[in-house]
Amino acid sequence: MSAPSSKALVLDFGGVISRTLFETHDLSEAALGLPPGTLTWRGPFAPETDVLWQAMQADHITEREYWMARTRSVGELVGEAWTDMQTFVQRARGADVEAVIRPEAIAAVHQAKAAGCKLAVLSNELDLFYGASFRERLPLLKLFDVIIDATYTGILKPDRRAYEMCRDALGVSAQDCVFVDDQSRNVLGAIQVGWKTVQFDVTDPATSYARALALLEI
């Protein structure tokens, strides 16, 4: 490993490290015993067909409200009353948590680590969605120096305090943080505190990670 760097790669989790639920409908349907093609909402992959997604992007509802609506509707499909996103994610994604992790994320994290960069996850809902035991079942997360999760802090991106908390925990300056998130509001929040940013494109993860590594000068 090279000498420690003052630079830090800060990643959102859902959509950036993990594949989105939009991309894994086939896995979800199989895990839940639903017929193929049952789940049709596609979020950023087909925004014109997803009215709820449009409402979230227009800030009429929050990201959490979007996913709670999806949670309730999918629960109804299996004849259950689901009241939390954790139930949805754990039931839909089954026991094999590594199956939904982006290979591009794994490669970029290892590359940044090898270059001596610090690593952080800055998430609004890591344990809220995945459950507290998830971290222990995903070896990749053990490579991260810092995990800031609003499940516990109660401070959601794009609140500037979330970014400042992460930066302080990493012990780096704002200009040395490279932040990757798939939500434009969260990217804007990072820009406002002086971070370098990549708006993650879930339809082209390889290019997004290449841009992040370029900003880290790796």
Per residue in 181-211, pLDDT tens? 998 999 999 999 999 999 999 999 999 999 9
Of the candidates 201, 210, 35, the one whose C-alpha atom is nearest the C-alpha of residue 112 is 210
- Across the range 53-75, mean pLDDT stands at 93
Tell me: pLDDT of 19 over 90. yes
Strand partners, 146: 120
Q: What is the pLDDT of residue 46?
A: 96
- Of the pLDDT bands very low, low, confident and very high (cuts 50, 70, 90), residue 2 is very low
Distance of CA 77 to the CA centre of its chain: 25
Average pLDDT, rounded, for the chain: 93
Query: Hey, how many other C-beta atoms are within 10 angstroms of the C-beta on 47?
Result: 13
Mean pLDDT of all residues in 66-82: 97
- HSE of 42, CA atoms in CB hemisphere, 13 A: 8
Split at pLDDT 50, 70, 90, the class of 3 is: very low
Backbone phi, then psi, for 147, in 5-degree steps?
A: -130, 115
What string of DSSP letters covers 115-181? Answer: TT-EEEEEESSHHHHH-TTHHHH-GGGGG-SEEEEHHHH---TTSHHHHHHHHHHHT--GGGEEEEE
pTM of model > 0.85: yes
**Can you give the pLDDT at residue 5?**
66
Give residue 153's pLDDT: 97
pLDDT number for residue 95: 65
Residues 108, 206: Cα–Cα separation, whole Å: 9
CA distances from 24 to 17, 81, 138 (A): 14, 22, 18
C-alpha span between 197 and 158 (Å, rounded): 13
Provide the CATH topology of domain 8-18+101-215: Rossmann fold (3.40.50)
* C-alpha–C-alpha distance, residues 128 and 156, integer Å: 12
CB 18 within 8 A of CB 24: no
Domain with CATH 3.40.50.1000 in the chain: 8-18+101-215
Distance of alpha carbon 198 from alpha carbon 100, whole angstroms: 21
Share of the chain above pLDDT 90, in %: 79
Beta bridge partners of 177: 8
Please give the pLDDT value at position 94: 67
Buried b (16+ CB within 10 A) or exposed e, 146-178: bbbbbeeeeebbbbeebbebbbebbebeeebbb
* Cα gap 127→152, rounded to integer Å: 9
Distance, CA of 137 to CA of 97 (rounded, Å)? 7
Residue-wise pLDDT for 94-143, tens only, equals 667 888 899 999 999 999 999 999 999 999 989 988 888 888 889 999 99
pLDDT tens digit sequence for 20-63: 999 999 989 999 999 999 999 999 999 999 999 999 989 899 88
